[in-house]
Structure formats: structure tokens, C-alpha cells
A and B are shown apart, each in its own frame.
Chain A
Amino acid sequence: MANLNTDSIKNRTYDAIVIGSGISGGWAAKELTGKGLKTLVLERGRDVKHVTDYPTTFKNPWEFEHRGQVPLEITKANPIISRCYAFREDAMHFFVKDQEHPYVQEKPFDWIRGYQVGGKSLLWARHTQRWSDFDFEGPARDGFAVDWPIRYKDIAPWYSYVEKFAGISGNKDGLPELPDGDFLPPLELNCVEKYFKEQVKSKYSDRHVIISRCAHLTEPQAIHHQQGRGKCQNRVLCQRGCPYGGYFSSNASTLPWAAKTGNLTMRPQAMVQSIIYDDQKGKATGVRIIDAITKEAIEFYAPVIFVNAAAINTNLILLNSTSSRFPNGLGNDSGVLGKYVAFHNYRARVSGSYDGFLDTTTDGRRPTSGYIPRFRNVFKQETDFLRGYAAGFSANRGQYQSRTGLGAELKENLLIPKLGNWNVGSHMMGETIPKETNTLSLDPTLKDEWGIPQLRFNIGYDDNDEKMVKDYLEQISDMFTKAGFKNITASDSKQAPGLDIHEMGGARMGKDPKTSILNGWNQMHACKNVFVTDGACMTSTATQNPSLTYMALTARAADYAVKELKKRNI
């Protein structure tokens, strides 16, 4: 009996545990297995195998019963997820159902989730911009949150490291506010976007329009072929999963790579309930899961644990990991766990049209857009709000048909496509200031189907955000006007936080254990063998799409963790 027990414990013991298999967890798995650690990846969702589990990937538009539209019964039952632009008939199976995963909204928050092997890496829009020191120095310079314990030089080599493996296309633009990376050839701005770029350059000294850096293989290298990935084919059906591995996802890239080492054990349908802390040993010893199907509780053990459940669920797991040493959540001596949660403000858009370049159009498809790096308050404070916003920018030529007539006349009209004017559009990506009052907490009574406490969201906009929306609308409208664009419409959707899908913070990094949860290595100040390397670690949000930074922080932390393990420091 005793032997059986020891055997059973041995079978459930690994060198490392990773919670979550999305963008950051995939990287943790790749790095830890690559360094020889027998690694267990616990993933609450089902398995999704590259290509074979992309059921819609080869479908033509007419093969969808509702031509892409989500049936009413589904949108009615799932109002939150239905607000996400990518929730369409071709990819809805990669999102979670509202009713199955309830949470409490003290203030409205649209929590967009993909629970499966690969997480949201299957669904993301693949924009990947580096941060600069203007971002890392933000809190210290402008006096909010706490100082980042790291600077650009600490992460720069790790940006290069992840960019080379993931495959990031981009142009070397030479902008200090958006450092260049190790890029594959860039995608192309179209003629109206190039025209706008020149207009902006000639009218503003500090504003730039560039092609967004993105995780697409424009020219795959040996390292990508070794992953079994090929060139991006411009299908722009990415959210279905790419049969070529043309964009970066955990499923196409990091997870199969980790599996090849022979050191990976994947356990889908394993919902992590909490991390086990041993008072005697003074460290975490493992993880408690609930099997999603059998609802059985099982424990797994390892000397090092990486938490990568995506920012919000990572907060949930840490808050739910209580012990006599940590009655308020793992590593939460400071009391800041679940606080200073922030996001990106995506409320505003400006659109218009352009009546030039009527002798040109576009041909084929492009999986990304133009990008306007932050230009407000970069080098010094210059407005009545803190920080600033980046913006997406793109132009496309509309196609339409005359719909007049009936019978043969109408038919003839429909078969002659006509080109309209060029449409131009921009959307805002604003930095929000992490505040103590923007919180995630556990509901004292409500639980989900698996007995795990439900989260309460108390996250909202503030006056700084309102001013920033106003400024974005004015400035972009101005830039559009100066470029000669017509029919300019500026709008504020007032959408709730969450639809940006860039939630961050709650277990922030910092120098001081009294005011932060993690140190400069994403390591818990108070529980040294636990590392948090998803969005929960973010001290501030900057304006860049954040996932590239999660990848780089994860690879850096894994490298550090293994060195510390070898030195027996953890």
C-alpha cells in the first residue's frame, strides 16, 4: 500500500509544471523541455492538434451554412463572446460559451476566452511590436503604478530570441519608440497607406505610419521548416487555424517542438484549481487540478511551477491558492494581488474615404494592417492626460454592384463588380493607467461547475481614458483631414473593457516585495519556485499588442529558473 502510494506520487511528479498552453505557456513548455526538464503542461481545455483539429480550415465561404454569420440562438445565449469580432461561424468552436464559464461583473467587462490546447494563440490577430524604454520608464517618469524592475536592454536579446523562432515579419523603421527586431521581410503597405505615410511624415515631425510587425512567415527560415511550418499563403483565414503553420500559434510551433524533445507531457482537460504551498518547505510543491470530465481532484508535483493561464485566470489561481502562510493568495504579502489590473482602451475609431488612386486597387489578401506608433507624450509630457495611444490604420478599395432592376437586368448588374472609392480607417489602442481600484477578486460564495470560485470584475475607465479618447479622435481626424481624406467620421463605441483582449496586471513585477508580487525575473518575491509570465505580470500596459512581450519574458524567466534550479537556489 505504502509502495503503491509512493509510486503514484512518483508518477505524478515532474521537473516542472506549466499551467496553460497558450502563447506564454507554449513558450514555457518549449524552453523548459529544451533545457532537459520533464515538463507537465496542464491545460483546462480539450486538445487541439495542429491541422487535424482545424475543422473549418479548408472550407470555402459558400460551404458555411450561414455564410459566416453566427445563428441567433447562439448569439442570444452568448452575448459576451458574440461581441468579439472574431466570433464568427468559421471559428466559434475556439471560444468558450458564456453560460459554461460565468463570472460576476461589478462593472461591465467582456472577458474573451479560448480554452483549449493553444489557448488564444489560435485566434489572435498576430500583431507583435516591441516595447521601448519610453514604455518601461513610464511609471517611474509619470508617477503611477511602480517602477518596472527591468529595462529594454534586459529584454532586447529575448525579443530577438523569440522573434527568430516564432517568425516575425516587419520593416526596420528605425524608430526609438518602437525598436526594430529580427525581422522576416515586411508585408506591404498599399498605395493609399503609403500616401498617408508620406502625408503624415511631411506634416508632423513625430508621427509615423508603418506596416505592423506581425507573426507571419513571409520567408520561412530553416528553423521554421524544422517546426514543419511553411510560408504564409495570404489566406487571411487565420482564426480557423493555419494548415501551413504560416502564422505563429502554440499548436503549430512551440508545443510540437517541446513534444519532440521527449520531455513533454500534455494533460488537457486539467483545470488547475490552486497551487499547493508547503509551509515546512517554504515553497510550492505542486498543483491541484480538477479533471474537467470526471471532476476528480488530482495533485501533481514539481520543484518549479510556471503560471500561464492568461492574465485573468492566473489571478484567479493565485487568489485561490491559500495556505496558512498565504491566507490572501499565493505570494500576496503585499496585498496587491488582484489589484492594478489594466487593459488597452479600444473604444475609438475614425474612418473616411479617399478619392485619389482611382486607377489602382489591391490584389490578393494581406494578414495585417498599417500601424501608427504612439506619438503622444513620448519624449516629454505634453497633454493634459498621461501616456498615449497607438493606432491601427488601413485602407482598402470597396467593391460594389448596382442593385437596380429585377430579372435579367438585375442579374447583369450583379455580375459586373464596380470599384468604389478607397475607404480608410483607424482604431485606437490606448494605454490605461493601472489603479489600485481596478480589481479582480474571488466571489465569496459563487462557484463554477467544477467548484472553483467565480471571479468578480471591478475594472473601469477613468478620466485619463476619457481625455485620451477625445485626443485620439481629434488627432486622427486632423491627420485624415490634412491628407485630404473625405467623409471623416469619428466614433466612440463606449465598449466595456475586455474586448481589447489585452488584459494585464494583478500580479505585477516590481523591485519592492512590499508593493509587487514578482521580481525582475517574473519570480514570486515570497515563493521563489513560482514564476508568472503571462499578462498578469505586467506593471504597466504601454500601447503595444502585448503577446510578443509575454513570449520574451517567458523565455527569459525559464532560462533564469533553470539556472537557479541548477544552483539549487530554488
Chain B
Amino acid sequence: MKRRTALKSLALVLGGTLSLPAWANAWNADTLSGNLNQLVSPDQQALLAEIVETIIPATNTPGAKDLGVHRFILTMLADCYEKSAQNRFVEGLTELDETVKAHYGKSFVTCSPAQRLEILKAREEAAKILPPEKEPFFPFLKNITIQGYLNSEYVMREVYKYELVPGRYNGCFPVTASAKK
């Protein structure tokens, strides 16, 4: 999908129609993400979407769910992490939801936003005092959610003003001016 969008913009620039040469596909990992659906069930995908949305919610700007951060996490897990890390993550998701059910009598996705935040905050507090090997799930979840958010089109373009073509380098730029930009 994304490749097609990129191609479209390339075609626009060059004023022609292009097809991606076969060799550019040879290294491509699109096929890998195919096992994404084997990694987690649709329910777990929905659960993850609500978790990332709780970590970074929509305010007057889009939240992690709208920005597809849950899909980014699953793609990264499927393609860039060892099976053991994938398993730990899926187990972490399941375990989190079971704990929630035990405490609140309902699953995470049916809790109110305030309850969801309360749950994750408690989880983070608990994680802080545990050694990393005892709590492999939450810190990873938070970090990769942040990674996905900061690298989303919205944040890079609108907040951090990423420029594909800066056309300049200033090696001594006043900080106030940079803050204003």
C-alpha cells in the first residue's frame, strides 16, 4: 500500500507512470508481515489499540490509536523481533486483560477511559520496582508506543516539522529562533 503511495508521488514528480522494478522487491519484507494475524487475534488487536490510546490519548490532537500506533507495533513485532519477544508481548497482553477482568469484572476495552488510565498507571508503578526480567512487558510496551507515536506522520510533520528537503544548513542557529520555528 505504502509503496504504491510513494510510487504515485515519484510518478507525479517525474510526470510519468512507473512500475517498481522487480529488484527493488527482492529485499522487501511486505510478505513477512503476513504472519501478523497469526501473532494476535482481532480481539487482541482491538485491546492493543485501546491500550496505546490510553498511553497517548486523543486530546485536541490525534492519539496513538488514530495514528495507527497499534498496527505499527504489530508490524515491528512480526518483522523485527525474535519469536521469544513476540511471545512475551502476546502473553503480556493476555495477562494484563486477565488481571483487569479479575479486578473490575470486565475487560480493559469495556472499562471507562479513567479506569483504563488508572490500570496502566498502577501497572507502571508496579513495574518501576521490579527488575527488568520480572517485568518484560510494560516498559517495552510504553517505549514502542512512544516510538510509533514520535515516528508517525502526524507528529513528524506537524509537530517536529520534518523536512524532506531542507535546502540549508546553519551550524550556529540561535536556540530561541529554533524554538520559534
Which A residues lie at the B interface, using CB under 8 A? 46, 51-53, 55-67, 69-74, 92-93, 97, 187-191, 193-194, 233-235, 237, 243, 358-366, 401, 403, 406-408, 410-411, 414-415, 417, 419
Residue in B23, B33, B175 whose beta carbon sits within 8 Å of that of A359 in the complex: B175
Known A-B contacts: A62-B151, A69-B76, A407-B57. Give 13 more (CB < 8 A): A55-B24, A59-B6, A72-B80, A72-B81, A93-B23, A191-B172, A194-B171, A234-B166, A237-B164, A403-B142, A406-B124, A407-B55, A410-B56
B82 and A190 within 8 A (CB): no
User: 14 A–B contact pairs at CB < 8 A?
Assistant: A61-B162, A64-B2, A65-B75, A71-B29, A190-B172, A233-B166, A234-B168, A360-B173, A361-B173, A362-B169, A365-B166, A403-B142, A414-B146, A415-B155
Residue in A188, A233, A361, A406 whose beta carbon sits within 8 Å of that of B165 in the complex: A233
A53 and B21 within 8 A (CB): yes
Interface size on B, residues (CB 8 A): 68
A411 and B57 within 8 A (CB): yes
B38 part of interface (Cβ distance < 8 Å):
no
B112 part of interface (Cβ distance < 8 Å):
no
Residue in B13, B56, B169 whose beta carbon sits within 8 Å of that of A188 in the complex: B169
B55 and A188 within 8 A (CB): no
B149 part of interface (Cβ distance < 8 Å):
yes
Docked pose: A327 CA to B124 CA in angstroms: 72
Instruction: Tell me which residues across on chain B come within 8 A of A57, comparing CB atoms.
Output: 10
Known: A63-B2, A363-B168. A92 touches B13 (CB 8 A): no
Closest Cβ of chain A to B96, distance in Å, is: 14
- Find residues 19-58 in chain B having any chain A CB closer than 8 Å to their own CB: 20-21, 23-24, 26-27, 29-30, 32-33, 54-57
A62 and B153 within 8 A (CB): yes
Report the nearest B residue to A56, measured CB to CB.
B6
Closest Cβ of chain B to A348, distance in Å, is: 26
Docked pose: A417 CA to B181 CA in angstroms: 12
Known: A57-B10, A233-B166, A365-B169. A66 touches B117 (CB 8 A): no
Docked pose: A560 CA to B149 CA in angstroms: 59
- Find residues 140-181 in chain B having any chain A CB closer than 8 Å to their own CB: 142, 146-147, 149-153, 155-157, 159-160, 162-178, 181
Instruction: Tell me which residues across on chain B come within 8 A of A194, comparing CB atoms.
Output: 171-172
Instruction: Tell me which residues across on chain A come within 8 A of B57, comparing CB atoms.
Output: 407-408, 411
A93 and B26 within 8 A (CB): yes
Docked pose: A126 CA to B181 CA in angstroms: 31
Instruction: Tell me which residues across on chain A come within 8 A of B156, comparing CB atoms.
Output: 60-62
Docked pose: A174 CA to B44 CA in angstroms: 65
Instruction: Tell me which residues across on chain B come within 8 A of A66, comparing CB atoms.
Output: 29, 75-76, 79-80
B120 and A235 within 8 A (CB): no
Which B residues lie at the A interface, using CB under 8 A? 2, 5-7, 9-10, 13-14, 18, 20-21, 23-24, 26-27, 29-30, 32-33, 54-57, 59, 61, 63, 72, 75-76, 79-82, 117, 120-121, 124, 142, 146-147, 149-153, 155-157, 159-160, 162-178, 181
Instruction: Tell me which residues across on chain A come within 8 A of B61, comparing CB atoms.
Output: 411, 415
Residue in B55, B59, B147, B165 whose beta carbon sits within 8 Å of that of A235 in the complex: B165
Docked pose: A132 CA to B163 CA in angstroms: 39
Known: A359-B174, A407-B117, A408-B57. A58 touches B169 (CB 8 A): no
Report the nearest B residue to A368, measured CB to CB.
B169
B164 and A58 within 8 A (CB): yes
Instruction: Tell me which residues across on chain B come within 8 A of A67, comparing CB atoms.
Output: 72, 147, 151
Closest Cβ of chain A to B171, distance in Å, is: 3
**Among all A-B residue pairs, the 5 with the closest Cβ atoms:** A190-B171, A363-B173, A364-B168, A191-B172, A71-B29
Instruction: Tell me which residues across on chain A come within 8 A of B54, comparing CB atoms.
Output: 406-407
A55 and B59 within 8 A (CB): no
B29 and A74 within 8 A (CB): yes
Instruction: Tell me which residues across on chain A come within 8 A of B55, comparing CB atoms.
Output: 406-407, 410
Instruction: Tell me which residues across on chain A come within 8 A of B56, comparing CB atoms.
Output: 407, 410-411, 414
Docked pose: A188 CA to B56 CA in angstroms: 39
Report the nearest A residue to B149, measured CB to CB.
A414
Known: A60-B164, A93-B24. A187 touches B169 (CB 8 A): yes
Give the one of B142, B150, B171, B176 with max A CB within 10 A: B171
A411 and B82 within 8 A (CB): no
Residue in B72, B150, B165, B181 whose beta carbon sits within 8 Å of that of A414 in the complex: B150
Docked pose: A159 CA to B2 CA in angstroms: 44
A364 and B170 within 8 A (CB): yes
Report the nearest A residue to B30, measured CB to CB.
A65
Report the nearest A residue to B6, measured CB to CB.
A59
Instruction: Tell me which residues across on chain A come within 8 A of B20, comparing CB atoms.
Output: 55
Report the nearest B residue to A407, measured CB to CB.
B117
Report the nearest A residue to B82, measured CB to CB.
A72
Report the nearest A residue to B166, measured CB to CB.
A364
Residue in A52, A65, A360 whose beta carbon sits within 8 Å of that of B172 in the complex: A360
Report the nearest B residue to A404, measured CB to CB.
B124
B2 and A401 within 8 A (CB): no
Docked pose: A193 CA to B5 CA in angstroms: 40
Instruction: Tell me which residues across on chain B come within 8 A of A92, comparing CB atoms.
Output: 27
